[in-house]
Amino acid sequence: MAWELLIWAGKAIVILIVVAALIEAWTKRHKSRRLVDMRPDADTLRKRPWEADGVTKVNDPDRVLNQNRQSKSRWIAHRRK
């Protein structure tokens, strides 16, 4: 009798977990998010020009850093000769 009650309770818990997982999957699938809503706000992007944002071009500080790296590597190569 006690074993039957434990088995019944275990089955009920498993069924509840499966139902909760199915409900969560259904709500995630049917929740619609437009692509425009996920895009960052343009005002916040203008306030932080030092960070690459993925929407606009790569900022000028990155270009300056690359030029400095190239000039240093040329200097090192010249010193090795």
Q: Judge whether 69 lies within some domain.
A: no
Q: Judge whether 33 lies within some domain.
A: yes
C-alpha angle with apex 54: 48 to 59, nearest 5 degrees? 55
Q: Judge whether 9 lies within some domain.
A: yes
Number of domains into which the chain is organized? 1
Q: Judge whether 29 lies within some domain.
A: yes
* 67 close to 78: Cβ distance less than 8 angstroms: no
Say whether pTM exceeds 0.85. Answer: no
* 15 close to 21: Cβ distance less than 8 angstroms: no
Q: Judge whether 80 lies within some domain.
A: no
Lowest mean pLDDT among 23-27, 33-37, 56-60: 56-60
Q: Judge whether 4 lies within some domain.
A: yes
Give pLDDT, residue 51: 60
Q: Judge whether 22 lies within some domain.
A: yes
pLDDT tens-place string over residues 46-79: 666 666 555 555 555 666 667 767 666 665 655 6
Give pLDDT, residue 49: 60
For residue 2, what are the domain limits? 1-39
Q: Judge whether 21 lies within some domain.
A: yes
